[in-house]
Amino acid sequence: MSGGGTMMARAAILVVEDETSLRTTMCAALTLMGFMTYQAESVDDALKILGAEHVDAIVLDIRLPDRTGMQTSGLHLLRFVRATPEHAHIPVLIFTGAALSPADEETIRINGGHVFYKPQPYRVLIDQLNELLNTSAH
């Protein structure tokens, strides 16, 4: 694909959210705003997408299902993304309805995540995403 000037208009956003209705609605809102979206309901699904597709930003829930019995969560995915050279630059927006512990907040801060609390209008989230994408492009 080419199109240097239109790249940001079709930025690919990975939405990692286990609640189907929230994930679907968020992806629909992002698509209406000109983004391309990938959906993942677990850390495993997100890792598969990151391994196969180009992603420009991640919207990440903290509390995710754990099918393996391992302690995986959105914070584990954030740490993985930051530790992986090909993904380390990707803006990550933490989308959570849960109160964060001081340790969780510190993990997010250290790993360059940006917290966005549910419920807020998707317009606010999309504005934040655009700001993060524009910042990471420079």
Q: List pLDDT tens digits, range 97-137.
A: 878 889 988 999 999 998 888 777 778 888 888 888 887 66
The CA-atom distances, in angstroms, between 71 and each of 19, 20, 80, 114 are 19, 22, 13, 22
CA distance 73 to 78: 9
User: pLDDT value at position 68?
Assistant: 62
The answer to whether residue 7 is domain-embedded is no
107 in a structural domain: yes
What letter would DSSP give residue 8? G
Q: What is the pLDDT of residue 36?
A: 96
Whether residue 101 lies inside any domain: the answer is: yes
pLDDT at 120: 76
Three-class SS state of 40: strand
**What pLDDT does 17 receive?**
92
Q: Which domain holds residue 51?
A: 16-24+36-70+92-119
- Is the Cβ–Cβ distance between 12 and 35 less than 8 Å? yes
Number of domains in the chain: 1
Which parts of the chain sit beneath pLDDT 70?
A: 1-9, 66-72, 136-138
Domain membership flag for residue 84: no
Report the b/e string of 18-51 with b at 16+ CB within 10 A.
Answer: beeebbeebbebbeebebbbbbbbbbbbbbebbe
* Position 111 in a domain: yes
